[in-house]
Amino acid sequence: MNWFIDCITKNYTNFNGRARRKEYWMFALFNFILTVIAAIIDKMIGSPLAITAILALALLLPSLAVTVRRLHDTSKSGWWVLLQLIPYIGIIIIFVFCVLDSTPGRNQYGENPKGL
Protein backbone atom coordinates (compact mmCIF):
# COMPACT_ATOMS: atom_id res chain seq x y z
CA MET A 1 0.00 0.00 0.00
CA ASN A 2 2.92 2.35 0.69
CA TRP A 3 4.03 2.13 -2.95
CA PHE A 4 0.58 3.28 -4.08
CA ILE A 5 0.44 6.11 -1.54
CA ASP A 6 3.93 7.29 -2.53
CA CYS A 7 2.84 7.43 -6.19
CA ILE A 8 -0.21 9.47 -5.22
CA THR A 9 1.42 11.85 -2.75
CA LYS A 10 5.11 12.28 -3.58
CA ASN A 11 5.18 11.37 -7.27
CA TYR A 12 1.74 12.47 -8.49
CA THR A 13 3.16 14.10 -11.63
CA ASN A 14 6.80 13.11 -11.37
CA PHE A 15 7.82 11.94 -14.85
CA ASN A 16 11.56 12.04 -14.02
CA GLY A 17 13.69 9.28 -12.62
CA ARG A 18 13.10 5.56 -12.43
CA ALA A 19 10.50 3.28 -10.86
CA ARG A 20 11.33 -0.30 -10.04
CA ARG A 21 9.00 -3.15 -10.92
CA LYS A 22 7.65 -3.46 -7.42
CA GLU A 23 6.55 0.19 -7.34
CA TYR A 24 4.85 -0.09 -10.73
CA TRP A 25 3.04 -3.36 -10.08
CA MET A 26 1.93 -2.40 -6.56
CA PHE A 27 0.48 0.80 -7.99
CA ALA A 28 -1.27 -1.23 -10.73
CA LEU A 29 -2.63 -3.72 -8.17
CA PHE A 30 -4.12 -1.09 -5.86
CA ASN A 31 -5.41 0.87 -8.84
CA PHE A 32 -7.22 -2.28 -10.01
CA ILE A 33 -8.61 -3.00 -6.53
CA LEU A 34 -9.91 0.57 -6.15
CA THR A 35 -11.48 0.44 -9.61
CA VAL A 36 -13.31 -2.79 -8.77
CA ILE A 37 -14.55 -1.31 -5.48
CA ALA A 38 -15.70 1.87 -7.27
CA ALA A 39 -17.54 -0.22 -9.89
CA ILE A 40 -19.28 -2.21 -7.16
CA ILE A 41 -20.33 0.98 -5.39
CA ASP A 42 -21.59 2.40 -8.69
CA LYS A 43 -23.64 -0.76 -9.23
CA MET A 44 -25.06 -0.60 -5.69
CA ILE A 45 -26.17 3.03 -5.97
CA GLY A 46 -27.34 2.61 -9.55
CA SER A 47 -25.15 5.27 -11.11
CA PRO A 48 -23.67 4.75 -14.59
CA LEU A 49 -20.03 4.34 -13.47
CA ALA A 50 -19.78 7.90 -12.13
CA ILE A 51 -17.49 7.05 -9.21
CA THR A 52 -15.36 4.80 -11.42
CA ALA A 53 -14.94 7.62 -13.96
CA ILE A 54 -13.95 10.10 -11.24
CA LEU A 55 -11.41 7.61 -9.86
CA ALA A 56 -10.00 6.97 -13.34
CA LEU A 57 -9.55 10.71 -13.93
CA ALA A 58 -7.96 11.19 -10.50
CA LEU A 59 -5.47 8.39 -11.11
CA LEU A 60 -4.71 9.19 -14.75
CA LEU A 61 -1.64 11.38 -14.13
CA PRO A 62 -0.10 9.17 -11.43
CA SER A 63 -0.63 6.15 -13.65
CA LEU A 64 1.08 7.81 -16.60
CA ALA A 65 3.89 9.07 -14.37
CA VAL A 66 4.67 5.68 -12.83
CA THR A 67 4.53 4.04 -16.27
CA VAL A 68 6.97 6.59 -17.70
CA ARG A 69 9.30 6.12 -14.72
CA ARG A 70 9.05 2.33 -15.20
CA LEU A 71 10.00 2.71 -18.87
CA HIS A 72 12.93 4.89 -17.80
CA ASP A 73 14.05 2.06 -15.52
CA THR A 74 14.35 -0.21 -18.56
CA SER A 75 16.27 2.51 -20.47
CA LYS A 76 13.30 3.38 -22.68
CA SER A 77 12.04 6.87 -23.37
CA GLY A 78 8.81 7.88 -21.68
CA TRP A 79 7.35 8.58 -25.09
CA TRP A 80 6.93 4.82 -25.53
CA VAL A 81 3.87 5.16 -23.29
CA LEU A 82 2.03 6.48 -26.37
CA LEU A 83 2.04 2.91 -27.70
CA GLN A 84 -0.91 2.31 -25.39
CA LEU A 85 -3.01 4.25 -27.89
CA ILE A 86 -2.62 1.38 -30.37
CA PRO A 87 -5.35 -1.13 -29.54
CA TYR A 88 -4.18 -4.52 -28.22
CA ILE A 89 -0.64 -4.50 -29.66
CA GLY A 90 0.46 -1.32 -27.88
CA ILE A 91 -0.84 -2.48 -24.51
CA ILE A 92 0.96 -5.81 -24.90
CA ILE A 93 4.24 -4.09 -25.79
CA ILE A 94 4.00 -1.75 -22.77
CA PHE A 95 3.15 -4.74 -20.57
CA VAL A 96 6.30 -6.55 -21.75
CA PHE A 97 8.42 -3.43 -21.17
CA CYS A 98 7.03 -3.11 -17.63
CA VAL A 99 7.83 -6.76 -16.87
CA LEU A 100 11.47 -6.41 -17.97
CA ASP A 101 14.14 -6.16 -15.29
CA SER A 102 15.83 -2.85 -14.52
CA THR A 103 18.88 -1.67 -16.37
CA PRO A 104 21.73 -2.39 -13.96
CA GLY A 105 23.56 0.59 -12.54
CA ARG A 106 23.04 4.13 -13.69
CA ASN A 107 21.36 5.02 -16.98
CA GLN A 108 20.46 8.37 -18.58
CA TYR A 109 17.42 8.65 -16.26
CA GLY A 110 19.26 8.24 -12.97
CA GLU A 111 20.49 5.67 -10.49
CA ASN A 112 18.96 2.23 -10.28
CA PRO A 113 16.27 2.41 -7.56
CA LYS A 114 17.11 -1.14 -6.46
CA GLY A 115 20.48 0.06 -5.27
CA LEU A 116 19.08 2.95 -3.20
Domain coverage including residue 30: 2-115
CB 111 within 8 A of CB 78: no
d(CA 46, CA 21): 37
pLDDT at 30 over 90: yes
Q: Give Cα separations from 71 to 21, 48, 64, 79, 106 (angstroms).
A: 10, 34, 11, 9, 14
> Tens of pLDDT along 53-111?
999 999 999 999 999 999 999 999 999 999 999 999 999 999 999 999 888 888 888 88
Q: What angle do CA 21, 33, 98 make, to 5 degrees?
A: 20
pTM, whole model, 2 decimals?
0.89
The domain tally of the chain equals 1
CA 81 to chain centre: 10
d(CA 82, CA 8): 21
